[in-house]
Structure 1
Amino acid sequence: MSGYASYEIDEIRERQVGKEKQPFSHQLDAFSALTNTLSIPIRGYKGTMLVLPTGGGKTFTAVNWICRNILSKGIKVLWLAQSSYLLDQAAQTFRNEIHSITGRDTINLRIVSSSNHHSNAGSILVSDDIIICTTQTAIRAYSTEAEDSKGNVRHTPFRQYLDYFSDSEFFVVIDEAHHTPAYGCRNLLISMRENIKNLYVLGLTATPFHTDKRINGWLWSIYNQGICYEADTNVLQMNSILSVPKYIEKQTGIKFEVDDKLYKRLTSKHKDLPEVIIEKLAKDSSRNNYIVSDYVNNKEDYGKTLIFADRWFQCEYIVEKLKSQGIRANAVYSKIENSDTLFADSSGRRSNKENEAIMEDFRQGKYDVIVNVKMLTEGVDVPDVKTVMITRQTTSPILFTQMVGRALRGKKAGGGENKAYANIVLFMDSWKRLLPFVTMGKGGLGGVKPAIQVRNPFDTVSIHLVKIASHDIEYESYANAAYLTFIPVGWYATEYTVAIEENGSEEFVSCTESIGVYNFNHYKFEELIEYLLKEDLAEWADESLEDDALLSIASNYVTKFFDVEQDNLDGNLYKNVIKLIRHIAQNGNKPEFLNFNQRNVYDLDRIAAELIDTPPRECHTYLKNLFNNEGLLWKVLYRDYTYFKKAFDHAINRLLNDGEMELVSPLPEPIPLDPGHTLTDEVRQQVYKRDNYQCLCCGKERRRGVSLEIDHILPIAMGGKNAPSNLQTLCKQCNGLKGVNEIDYRSIISPLSKPKEMILFAAPESDYVENAIARIVNHIYHCRAFCSLNYSERRNGKYYDNWGINLYSGNNPQWIEQHSSKLLEYINQELGWTNVRKIIIND
């Protein structure tokens, strides 16, 4: 794609007659809101946000309005995008809408990035009417200066371009506007605001907030007019403009070792998988066969499908396999994508004309499946695509969003009468270490906001604990240390932005990293943070800096504030200090500290003391149940029961060797199982039917992805029977959390004299919000005290801001009221219902 073009408006208008895109009602409302908020001519400064979900037409809405109201008045437009993936999409939309510009003969459009398919920042001319540029290229070009041959300061053509219009009117668009508070982007806009007298800034986003609430204020400083228009995802789905996405994860069974180099690339350098691994995935015939078989086995449900692959030969392989199964398939790609496999006969290359012809046949229904290599512009937009298959995991939220968005058009947006939902099929490989791949947040794709999977803060803790358990090493530098020495007291939640540039692609990524701190070094981190807050760290705020560039300064701080032998317990001390530097340099504030309030639950020394006189078989059973309890974190800490058991044996040996055995009440003696009572299928079905085929704890009904189990109210090991009166229906999650406890969820009044501790259980993907809340409430009351939840998904709903938790009569509402603030925070942050402001408990 060319980086520069000049368009004759009359010629384009003639070609577009009868092809004009008709806006939907929500887009017409957005046009009116934009006109009312950003009055023309531009006078002074105004910033506003347009909020539409992915698939709701943000780009078209903004471009169409800009063509009619900004470019038609001769005002220059700078369009900034967070990723080079988004540039071509914006450029194509401008080309499609240039016909709506009036009062002009020509329009000059330039695309600017580090890609060799685009112009570079040094080629910008004052005559350019539209500049579409990656944010990081703009930041770099704006701040770079040099001396000319006479020693005078010389600015880049980009800076000269902006300075030229400092006394004129100027218009800026920020795509993915929730990233605006990032250090480089906000400083660029602040400087432009100071230097350009008449400036409007329009932010486009599906999520009008920054993940770090403490720097969220920057949004409203830049977008000082607030949100001019926001479309409700649920309304667009109900009106069949958007499809409801259905996420389907497919495990390929392919396992990959993760060496330190790869781990550093993805977690420290924040880059995507290296080309050598992508090449390996693309060439794996068994993996590609699995992708083919998945489509063939589900072709009736999948329907019209777009498969995103990584290599041209992967496209061709999948296409040939699909054809052999009677599937009408073809492939589109433009060139050999970073492939090691080159062919002299020009295979691996397709012309634009060939691709356009194939895509037109796809639109006309001549193909069932198109396989492509990241061709994400409007040119491959086919509204009635029902299924998108993403053949590998990625660390790029924007790339992921672009791929998913191809299937989200609803019936009224050309999706077809049979498109009730959109399938998003994700092929997942197994990685030996937790990697920061994009995953979907709670609530699915509401506004299509995929989240970078934040590295679990227990990951580094787990590595160290497993090392101790598997190698039988003692706690080096900590003679006779208690087990809790190695469990963090909490984490600092750091957030910063990094700029990534690789293979001609640019992207800004927001990174959220948890820094684990221990009881013996928490105060040292506090001292370091207080010191850093007083330092001038501006030079370290640059998003393009890699962690290695900060290593020397981090080393100085480590020497000043820490004892390396003691404090580098998990091997991440230097990395953690770098994260703190980046966070404070970019945000200017202290990262939030999150207490690990349940730390004492994971005191293996205490558990060892409790079980030291327990018979081995019974001890093994108890530990197995403890390890498999989904409400606890033992699986996260040790990954495998073998390591957990070895760690427990270490704790027992320490107690025996030290001669210090604080005996706690042992487990009760097991009661022999009555062999005359077996749990038959007839009894199972009787219980399922009695309980209406739903979990008595959380209320989840049996459906695809939800399995129900028969649970013993009083476990067999404690004397329980297989009689229906001792059986209840629970889902897998609730049954695992109940464990060996005796809890009768058929009872709706708590048998307790005081409440149990509230635990904010992680909600599985199969949970609706009422399931997650019911599980938490019922744990506190030790019965099915939760009756119902009053809530609304609509802004005009009675229970949109204030939710009501209804308890069965006879349960003390104060037991849950005392936790209402923490429960509200959980609903806002973990479940993603940020609109809720208050929770009311009703008896």
Structure 2
Amino acid sequence: TASAYIVSFVDHWNEHIAWVNPESIFEGNNDFQDNDPERIKRELRMIAISKIEEFASILDDSVDTSALEKVPFEQRIPVGMYAFTYLEESGMDHAYQVMVYDSTQTAYQDLMEALPALFDSFAISEEYLTESQLAEMEAQCRDTFFCGEMVPPYEERDVRNILKYYAQYETAPQFYTFADVDRSKLDVGKIAQYIWDEDMGQRKKTEYVDSVWDSNDDNMLRLFFGRKLYFLRQLDIELMKISHSKDIFDEGNNVKFGTKALEDLPLNEIRKYNPELEKTLRAKAFENAKDADGFYCCAGCGKKNRSKVYFQVDHIIPMNAGGKSVAENLQILCRQCNGVKGDR
């Protein structure tokens, strides 16, 4: 028939849904002649699916989402996505979308450029990656590209799926921008600011919010949030940020770690408390290892390469021997030398 109803019963929302090959959604084909409004609606629906976990978590009082809530709302709207399809080893197609934000866009761009070097550094030519290979490669990507403060953060599973795709096709997945989606029209922060500036009472505020929800640009807000409850919760948060200042998100963060205390932690532990410090320490280690021609040099065997993915940051004096996580005690080693040192 001309149309069909598809009912999906999904018990794990962390698996994204894509009923068709993602490329056809954006490129179009002989079966779909899309106009711009319909394409934008589909993009919004796809973004909305990716935000369900986030919105639901904010409603859950047992989950600490303060770091996410204090970020300007517009920065929590994706700027685009990598959309691709690959084959599982079982032979089943797997369609996947990686949402990209202002916070992660540069990191993903750097990763895509480094994919050939990354696979070369691990000497991988197989079409299907093992779990141990995926774990090691994802860790290398995390330490190389995804250091520092990133809110919203990157997802490990996203990088793993990108690696699976590259293993099969030896090309980076296609990036699709959401440039046609006017993010300012989804910015709850601006709606909250208008309510505050107009000094609306509760009744007037309720009437205004209802009118925005019911009529905002062909219901873009409805498409994005899905449930009015999610929209209202975000609006309350933005109003609270305006009325009580953004410092309210720091009230519960009474534990402060000084640089001296962090020196006694490994880099991956420092990330939990001060991600920018970890990023700085790793960057200094690589900068100190760069020669006049712009090559990074392994402190062990002298191996050189322009790509960081061949190397890992290492403590010169191991931490179990009293070494500290300070710039003076960090060097870079190729993966082979680091492995040998670890064995010793």
TM-score of the aligned structures, taking structure 2 as reference length: 0.53
- The alpha carbon displacement at 1:573 in A equals 1.6
Q: Deviations over 1:361-413 (max 9, x none)?
A: xxxxxxxxxxxxxxxxxxxxxxxxxxxxxxxxxxxxxxxxxxxxxxxxxxxxx
Say which SS state the counterpart of residue 488 (structure 1) adopts. Answer: coil
More relative contact order, 1 or 2 (CA 8 Å, 6+ apart): 2
- Structure 1 or 2: more strand by fraction: 1
Describe the shift of the 1:568–1:483 C-alpha distance in structure 2 as closer, same or farther (beyond 3 A).
closer
Structure 1 contact 461–486 (Cα < 8 Å) conserved: no
Instruction: Read off the aligned partner of 1:492 and give its amino acid letter.
Output: Y
For residues 549 and 534 of structure 1, what CA distance do their matches in structure 2 show?
15
Number of aligned residue pairs: give it. 226
- The alpha carbon displacement at 1:461 in A equals 2.6
Describe the shift of the 1:246–1:481 C-alpha distance in structure 2 as closer, same or farther (beyond 3 A).
closer
- The alpha carbon displacement at 1:574 in A equals 0.8
Q: Which residue of 1 aligns with 2:102?
A: 519
Tell me which of 40, 57, 67 is aligned to 1:467: 57
Describe the shift of the 1:563–1:592 C-alpha distance in structure 2 as closer, same or farther (beyond 3 A).
same
Describe the shift of the 1:616–1:256 C-alpha distance in structure 2 as closer, same or farther (beyond 3 A).
same
Q: Which residue of 2 aligns with 1:528?
A: 111
Instruction: Read off the aligned partner of 1:579 and give its amino acid letter.
Output: N
For residues 568 and 548 of structure 1, what CA distance do their matches in structure 2 show?
28
Structure 2 contact 213–221 (Cα < 8 Å) conserved: yes
Q: Which residue of 2 aligns with 1:495?
A: 85
Correspondence 1:609 to 2:193? yes
Describe the shift of the 1:479–1:641 C-alpha distance in structure 2 as closer, same or farther (beyond 3 A).
closer
Instruction: Read off the aligned partner of 1:620 and give its amino acid letter.
Output: T
Say which SS state the counterpart of residue 582 (structure 1) adopts. Answer: helix
For residues 108 and 246 of structure 2, what CA distance do their matches in structure 1 show?
36
Alignment of 1:663-674 (within 5 A): none
For residues 472 and 643 of structure 1, what CA distance do their matches in structure 2 show?
17
For residues 520 and 495 of structure 1, what CA distance do their matches in structure 2 show?
25
Tell me which of 170, 175, 195 is aligned to 1:593: 175
Describe the shift of the 1:559–1:659 C-alpha distance in structure 2 as closer, same or farther (beyond 3 A).
closer
For residues 624 and 559 of structure 1, what CA distance do their matches in structure 2 show?
46
Correspondence 1:483 to 2:73? yes
- The alpha carbon displacement at 1:608 in A equals 0.5
Structure 1 contact 486–518 (Cα < 8 Å) conserved: yes
Q: Which residue of 1 aligns with 2:3?
A: 247
For residues 436 and 479 of structure 1, what CA distance do their matches in structure 2 show?
28
Alignment of 1:284-299 (within 5 A): none
Tell me which of 150, 154, 163 is aligned to 1:581: 163
- Determine what percentage of the aligned residue pairs are the same residue: 17
Describe the shift of the 1:626–1:528 C-alpha distance in structure 2 as closer, same or farther (beyond 3 A).
same
Q: Which residue of 2 aligns with 1:193?
A: none
- The alpha carbon displacement at 1:477 in A equals 4.0
- The alpha carbon displacement at 1:541 in A equals 5.3
Structure 1 contact 567–573 (Cα < 8 Å) conserved: no
Structure 1: gaps of 5 or more residues: 1-244, 268-433, 448-452, 501-506, 661-843
Say which SS state the counterpart of residue 512 (structure 1) adopts. Answer: strand
Structure 2 contact 68–152 (Cα < 8 Å) conserved: no
Q: Which residue of 2 aligns with 1:626?
A: 212
Q: Deviations over 1:452-476 (max 9, x none)?
A: x999344233321332245397754
Structure 2: gaps of 5 or more residues: 33-41, 248-344
Instruction: Read off the aligned partner of 2:156 and give its amino acid letter.
Output: Y
Correspondence 1:542 to 2:118? no
- The alpha carbon displacement at 1:557 in A equals 1.3
For residues 568 and 540 of structure 1, what CA distance do their matches in structure 2 show?
34
For residues 587 and 575 of structure 1, what CA distance do their matches in structure 2 show?
19
Say which SS state the counterpart of residue 567 (structure 1) adopts. Answer: coil
Describe the shift of the 1:631–1:524 C-alpha distance in structure 2 as closer, same or farther (beyond 3 A).
same
Tell me which of 629, 646, 649 is aligned to 2:236: 649
Correspondence 1:557 to 2:137? no
Bigger radius of gyration = 1
Alignment of 1:238-637 (within 5 A): 245-249=1-5, 258-259=11-12, 267=15, 435-436=17-18, 456-471=46-61, 475-477=65-67, 480-500=70-90, 507-509=91-93, 511-536=94-119, 539=124, 542-543=127-128, 545=129, 550-563=134-147, 566-567=149-150, 569=152, 573-597=155-179, 598-612=182-196, 613-629=199-215, 631-637=218-224
Describe the shift of the 1:556–1:659 C-alpha distance in structure 2 as closer, same or farther (beyond 3 A).
closer
Structure 2 contact 70–246 (Cα < 8 Å) conserved: no
Say which SS state the counterpart of residue 97 (structure 2) adopts. Answer: strand
For residues 531 and 481 of structure 1, what CA distance do their matches in structure 2 show?
29
- The alpha carbon displacement at 1:628 in A equals 4.3
Describe the shift of the 1:533–1:467 C-alpha distance in structure 2 as closer, same or farther (beyond 3 A).
same
Describe the shift of the 1:444–1:246 C-alpha distance in structure 2 as closer, same or farther (beyond 3 A).
farther
Say which SS state the counterpart of residue 3 (structure 2) adopts. Answer: strand
TM-score of the aligned structures, taking structure 1 as reference length: 0.24
Instruction: Read off the aligned partner of 2:173 and give its amino acid letter.
Output: P
For residues 435 and 596 of structure 1, what CA distance do their matches in structure 2 show?
18
Q: Deviations over 1:495-541 (max 9, x none)?
A: 333342xxxxxx442x3322112212211111121111334368465
Q: Deviations over 1:633-656 (max 9, x none)?
A: 433443311121111011111101
Describe the shift of the 1:258–1:526 C-alpha distance in structure 2 as closer, same or farther (beyond 3 A).
same
For residues 52 and 233 of structure 2, what CA distance do their matches in structure 1 show?
14
For residues 625 and 470 of structure 1, what CA distance do their matches in structure 2 show?
27
Describe the shift of the 1:477–1:250 C-alpha distance in structure 2 as closer, same or farther (beyond 3 A).
closer
Alignment of 1:217-236 (within 5 A): none
For residues 96 and 225 of structure 2, what CA distance do their matches in structure 1 show?
21
Describe the shift of the 1:586–1:471 C-alpha distance in structure 2 as closer, same or farther (beyond 3 A).
same
For residues 58 and 69 of structure 2, what CA distance do their matches in structure 1 show?
14
Structure 2 contact 103–151 (Cα < 8 Å) conserved: no
For residues 533 and 556 of structure 1, what CA distance do their matches in structure 2 show?
14
Structure 2 contact 77–101 (Cα < 8 Å) conserved: yes
Instruction: Read off the aligned partner of 1:634 and give its amino acid letter.
Output: L
Instruction: Read off the aligned partner of 1:647 and give its amino acid letter.
Output: Q
Say which SS state the counterpart of residue 580 (structure 1) adopts. Answer: helix
For residues 526 and 444 of structure 1, what CA distance do their matches in structure 2 show?
27
Say which SS state the counterpart of residue 46 (structure 2) adopts. Answer: coil
Superposition RMSD in Å = 4.1
Q: Deviations over 1:29-87 (max 9, x none)?
A: xxxxxxxxxxxxxxxxxxxxxxxxxxxxxxxxxxxxxxxxxxxxxxxxxxxxxxxxxxx
Say which SS state the counterpart of residue 2 (structure 2) adopts. Answer: strand
